[in-house]
């Protein structure tokens, strides 16, 4: 009988932490769909995945995940291909200046929260078909810098990248924990994984202006953190995706060392989760993607 490799999707899988995660999965026998925007980068990433696997294990699928319309189309296409054993929602980022997505949503909210929210929604049935399956949502210690207030799309006052991304990651962490409870009966485990700081392309664009003034004295220390090797940052996502010790478990945060780390759970409460649920529905409706 032919043995098929389990199928995984890694968003932003053609560079940075996503590519390192994909390489680790390829070495462990997975078939990979790498999602990114740039065709050349996609081709180069697939070649590296194939080399790591020692066979043809990778393919590139192009999508701009900051667009909810493109994200939904991507999800529907992938869902049409049948069972999916692993979804790594790795896409995300932090920028110095405020940006907007094609649908007019502040970019860190669009890329760190709404896009993985929509993609997961379109792929839930495919993940259930391949159960036991896993979803890994890549989070960040920036959560600790977030203002956990979700009564407006964005908080009033100046835009600071760290706080904005922290708030979007906090929203997605609350959603991740809530989703874990909902998907448990369908055999889908849902984890958040913190990669820790690493010297990726996104990290290279950051300046001291991402920090609220009170944190600026710590810039040199923070900059040192984001010079860490990228390969090591895949340990958390890889453990969440493949560690047999996580089998049958769900709703956990896996730290950068690859083990359960409860630090970020302190920032989530039932009240915050409910506020995030309402806020998310309003943002999606405003962007033309309500249910």
Ligand X SMILES: NC(=O)c1ccc[n+]([C@@H]2O[C@H](COP(=O)([O-])OP(=O)(O)OC[C@H]3O[C@@H](n4cnc5c(N)ncnc54)[C@H](OP(=O)(O)O)[C@@H]3O)[C@@H](O)[C@H]2O)c1
Per CB under 6 A, residues contacting ligand X are 12, 14-18, 36-38, 41, 64-66, 90-93, 111, 138, 140, 195, 197-198, 200-203, 226
For ligand X, the closer of residues 17 and 179 by Cβ is 17
In angstroms, the CA 286 to CA 104 distance is 9
For ligand X, the closer of residues 67 and 242 by Cβ is 67
For ligand X, the closer of residues 7 and 113 by Cβ is 113
Closest CA to 119 of 6, 273, 9: 9
For ligand X, the closer of residues 130 and 215 by Cβ is 215
For ligand X, the closer of residues 97 and 274 by Cβ is 97
Pairing of strands 133-138, 58-62: unpaired
CB of 227 to ligand X, least distance (A): 9
Which residue blocks in the chain are alpha helix, DSSP H?
16-27, 39-53, 68-79, 107-109, 115-129, 161-183, 201-204, 219-225, 235-242, 270-286
In angstroms, the CA 125 to CA 82 distance is 9
DSSP state of 65: T
CB of 155 to ligand X, least distance (A): 19
CB of 248 to ligand X, least distance (A): 26
Q: How many residues does the chain have?
A: 291
Task: Answer yes or no: are the C-beta atoms of 146 and 215 closer than 8 Å.
Answer: no
CB of 187 to ligand X, least distance (A): 25
Is the preceding omega at residue 150 within 30 degrees of 0, hence cis? no
CB of 142 to ligand X, least distance (A): 7
For ligand X, the closer of residues 197 and 284 by Cβ is 197
CB of 195 to ligand X, least distance (A): 5
């Amino acid at each position: 009988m032919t043995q098929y490799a389990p199928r995984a999707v890694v968003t932003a899988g053609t560079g940075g932490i996503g590519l390192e995660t994909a390489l680790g999965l390829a070495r462990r026998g997975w078939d990979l769909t790498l999602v990114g925007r740039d065709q050349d980068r996609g081709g180069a990433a697939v070649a590296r995945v194939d080399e790591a696997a020692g066979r043809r294990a990778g393919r590139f699928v192009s999508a701009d995940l900051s667009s909810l319309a493109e994200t939904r189309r991507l999800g529907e296409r992938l869902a049409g291909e049948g069972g999916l054993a692993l979804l790594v929602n790795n896409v995300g980022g932090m920028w110095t200046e405020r940006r907007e997505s094609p649908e007019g949503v502040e970019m860190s909210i669009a890329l760190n929260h709404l896009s993985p929210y929509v993609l997961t929604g379109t792929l839930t049935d495919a993940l259930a078909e391949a159960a036991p399956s896993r979803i890994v949502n890549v989070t960040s210690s920036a959560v600790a810098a977030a203002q956990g207030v979700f009564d407006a799309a964005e908080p009033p006052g100046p835009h600071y990248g760290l706080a904005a991304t922290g708030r979007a990651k906090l929203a997605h962490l609350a959603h991740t924990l809530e989703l874990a409870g909902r998907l448990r009966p369908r055999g889908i485990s849902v984890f958040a994984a913190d990669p820790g700081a690493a010297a990726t392309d996104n990290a290279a664009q950051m300046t001291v202006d991402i920090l609220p003034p009170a944190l600026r004295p710590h810039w040199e220390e923070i900059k040192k953190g984001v010079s860490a090797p990228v390969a090591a940052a895949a340990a958390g996502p890889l453990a969440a995706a493949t560690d047999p010790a996580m089998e049958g478990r769900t709703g956990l945060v896996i730290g950068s060392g690859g083990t359960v780390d409860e630090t970020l759970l302190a920032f989530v409460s039932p009240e915050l989760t409910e506020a995030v649920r309402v806020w998310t529905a309003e943002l999606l409706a405003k962007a033309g993607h309500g249910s």
